[in-house]
Structure 1
Amino acid sequence: MNPPCYPAENVPLQGRYDRLPEESAVIQHTTVNMTPEPPKDHIIWSLCCFLYSNPCCLGLAALIFSIKARDRKVAGDLEGARHYGSTARCLNIWATVLFSITVLIVIIITIVICTLLYQQTQAIRDRIRTSPYDFNYRG
């Protein structure tokens, strides 16, 4: 069954109003109830720090504080949850920074060692080429 076809309506514009007339202006007040945002427990970040970057057991401590923050949030103690969540965030930041610094130091040390080994092998090859002894002697 096809829907009925209606003719198109053409309504001419009566005029353009940039603003409402003074007598018809109505002021409306809107009240918005701002409920405080529930505190964050940073549980995912704590799990990642615990599993992948756990320097000085900071990831474990952050995970414990995240779990405490979640428990406080469920119990309805939002201030306690906020405190535990803030502590977990600080511990996560420290764990992430220490892990990042450690990774950077390891990368730099690896590059330096590889460069030194390459230079040493080149120096040994140069000595062998200029050696007065013939190591390719076949008698």
Structure 2
Amino acid sequence: MSRASQTLFTRANTGLPPSYEVLKEEHEVAVLGTPASSAPAGPTIISIQGETSVPDHVVWSLFNTLFMNFCCLGFAAFAYSVKSRDRKMVGDITGAQSYASTAKCLNICALVFSLLTAIVLIVLMVTGALVAHGAFQQYGQDHGGY
């Protein structure tokens, strides 16, 4: 007889609680035993959803509000970004995603329109400078100047 089985018999007779080895052996027997139902056990699928990260685009909206506020689109984007952050704090993920999507679209529109306006202004300034330079040269040639 092994020492663990001797411990089991002597402790069972004396009324002392069983040792760790006895509990481990009982657990192994319970695990290796046949299942109670004869139907095959199917897989158990547990889906755990983690924290959903919703970008609220507040920094981008603030930048557009301060520097590229084409037709107040930057301000509107900032308002929607704040609404998205509020919805996220309350726990309304769907509402936060909706407001964030609107803020993103407004930010993109403000950025594109502001860049196009800047490009058009640069082109107009360059062409205006070239036309003015040509006009001054023509005036100089016509009036005997330089």
Aligned partner letter, 2:63: C
Question: What TM-score comes out, normalization by structure 2 length?
Answer: 0.64
**For this pair of structures, how many residues does the alignment match?**
100
Aligned partner letter, 1:105: V
Q: Which residue of 2 aligns with 1:37?
A: 52
Q: Which residue of 2 aligns with 1:87?
A: 102
Aligned partner letter, 1:55: F
Question: What TM-score comes out, normalization by structure 1 length?
Answer: 0.68
Question: Hey, what's the Cα distance between the residues in 2 that align with 1:101 and 1:37?
Answer: 35
Pair member with larger Rg: 2
Q: Aligned to 2:93, which of 78, 93, 98?
A: 78
Residue 116 of structure 1: how far off its partner (Å): 0.2
Question: Hey, what's the Cα distance between the residues in 1 that align with 2:133 and 2:87?
Answer: 57
Q: Which residue of 2 aligns with 1:62?
A: 77
Residue 66 of structure 1: how far off its partner (Å): 0.2
Question: Hey, what's the Cα distance between the residues in 1 that align with 2:52 and 2:118?
Answer: 35
Matching of residue 113 in structure 1 with residue 121 in structure 2: no
Aligned partner letter, 1:58: L
- 1:60-95 per-position Cα deviation (integer Å, ceiling 9, x unaligned): 110000000000001111110000000000000000
Q: Which residue of 2 aligns with 1:49?
A: 64
Question: Hey, what's the Cα distance between the residues in 2 that align with 1:32 and 1:116?
Answer: 69
Question: Hey, what's the Cα distance between the residues in 2 that align with 1:37 and 1:122?
Answer: 66
- Identity of paired residues, percent? 36
Question: Hey, what's the Cα distance between the residues in 2 that align with 1:86 and 1:76?
Answer: 17
Residue 129 of structure 1: how far off its partner (Å): 1.8
Residue 36 of structure 1: how far off its partner (Å): 5.1
Aligned partner letter, 1:38: S
Matching of residue 99 in structure 1 with residue 114 in structure 2: yes
Structure with more of its chain in helix, by fraction? 2
Unmatched tracts of structure 1, length 5 or more: 1-30, 131-139
